[in-house]
Amino acid sequence: MTNHAAEPRDRPGDQLREWRRHLHRYPELPFEEHGTAAFLVETLKASGVTDIATGIGGTGVVATLRCGDGPGVIGLRADMDCLPLHEVGSHDHVSRNPGAMHACGHDGHMTMVLGAAAALASGAGFDGTVRFVFQPAEEPGRGAQAMIDDGLFERFPLDAIYGLHNAPGLPVGHFSTRSGPILGSEDNFEIRIIGRGGHSSMPDRVVDPLVIAAEIVTALQTVVGRNVPSSEPAVLSCTELITDGSRNAIPTHVVVRGDTRSYSADVSELLERRIRALAEGIARSHGATCDVTYTHEFQPTVNEAACVEAAARAASSVFADVDAQCERRMGSEDFGVFARTVPGCFAFIGNGVEPGLGGSPLHSSEYDFNDDILELGVRYYVTLVRSVLRQPSSST
């Protein structure tokens, strides 16, 4: 990734677009964001932010900006990594790295935090300390914990942390968040069934794991509806079915994969317990064996009420439509790991509704971040910092 950090332009929107499109051209996969980190460091320095630490959790970057002697410390977090996708697009900032693409808008998230850093470095207007936290490996849900394990909060203490995510399908000018759970956990499961394969013309001589897998998949559809309390949202999805059979051979091995989503540890544990019991019981009843692996990939993202209040107050002076009681979503975000350690607020801003104008879905090969929302994100972050770290009133 070539560094093209630039001095701030006369028109901030033009500079933001240049930064964002450069980051989009050179996406990097989780824990491989070396060029991205170098670009962030050079751009921060050019913007007047010089207290910068690198290599946090592998490739993470933390920059610190102080103004006055206020004791408050808040963090603005952006994610750095991309997805292993081939981009489909004709725009001039299409990915130059084959098989890698910013299909979730992390290029825009970084740019908004860079823009806030530049604006605050040049205009100050706050009393305290701001840390700009650039996190690697959000997509696999490993980067936040890697930074914490590397001493993030001991080395760079925070009173609170804030993050944004673009939301295709929501109109530009829309801001949404909520107190309490806003995004779910993600747990993955893999059910490995071992039967006895054979010729498809003699099914009476085999223990057919494909039939067993079908019965398990059907049975799993009852887990949420007949086990999880109706007051607790949860999702269970089977997403892959893999066999070693062929057109005329009944398989010996079948793997069923899927994931679950929930908002509480109790529900997560219940889902795991029921998946194991059903899969093992059904396999045993057919004379097969079964092994279940269940892993916890993402923690739920839970917002602190006081942080949500501060975020909504700042957003109300920037966005046309602010919803501080939005519906919960079952998607997952690595920000949830940070928010378990320090109070936090995660929010969404509208990316647009029309395909090609911000409305293409996240994680699709046609997705592109809507540059028209960059300045809104910067203004929100700057307003948030200045309102949370308010300068003392001058005496008359």
The CATH architecture one would assign to domain 12-182+300-388 is: 3-Layer(aba) Sandwich (3.40)
Quick check: 7 pLDDT over 50?
no
CATH of domain 185-298: 3.30.70.360
Q: Is 138 a catalytic residue?
A: yes
Is 97 exposed, middle or buried, given 0-12, 13-18 or 19+ CB atoms closer than 10 A?
middle
- The verdict on whether residue 215 carries a ligand-binding annotation is no
* Spatial distance between the Cα atoms of 315 and 350, rounded to a whole number of angstroms: 13
Q: Which amino acid is at 42?
A: E
Contact present, 326 and 348 (Cβ < 8 Å): yes
Residues 204 and 381: beta-carbon distance below 8 Å: no
Q: pLDDT grade, residue 275 (50/70/90)?
A: very high
pLDDT given at position 9:
46
Q: Is the pLDDT of residue 394 over 70?
A: no
pLDDT of residue 292 exceeding 50, the answer is: yes
Q: Which residue of the set 81, 107, 187, 333 is catalytic?
A: 81
Helix ranges (H only) for 170-235 are 209-227
21 HSE (CA, 13 A, CB side) = 14
Q: 280 labelled as ligand-binding?
A: no
pLDDT of residue 32: 98
Helices (H) and strands (E) counted in the chain, each on its own, are: 10, 16
Residue type, 41: V
**Span 38-52, pLDDT tens digits:** 999 999 999 999 999
253-262: strand order across its sheet? 234-243, 253-262, 185-194, 289-298
Mean residue pLDDT across the chain:
95
Within 8 A by CB and 6+ apart from 388, the residues are: 72, 74, 128, 160, 310, 314
| Residue ranges per structural domain of the chain | 12-182+300-388, 185-298
Asked whether residue 28 is marked as a ligand-binding residue, the answer is no
pLDDT at 286: 98
pTM (2 d.p.): 0.92
Measured CA to CA in angstroms, residue 346 lies from 77, 150, 324, 363, 368 at distances of 10, 23, 11, 19, 21
109 carries a ligand binding annotation = no
* Annotated binding residue 104: yes
Give the H/E segment covering residue 261. Answer: strand 253-262
> Considering just the CA atoms, what is the radius of gyration of the chain in Å?
24
Cα–Cα distance measured from residue 75 to residue 63, given in angstroms and rounded to the nearest whole number: 10
What span, in angstroms and rounded, lies between the C-alpha atoms of 64 and 76? 10
81: annotated active-site residue: yes
For the segment 194-211, the average pLDDT, to the nearest whole number, is 97
Question: Contact, 133 vs 155, CB < 8 A?
Answer: no
Checking if the pLDDT of 10 tops 80, the result is no
Q: Exactly one of 79, 138, 186, 208 is catalytic; name it.
A: 138
Q: What is the spatial distance between Cα 315 and Cα 178, in angstroms, rounded to a whole number?
A: 13
Per-residue burial over 133-158, b if 16 or more Cβ lie within 10 Å, else e, is bbbbbbbebbbbbbbbeeebeeebeb
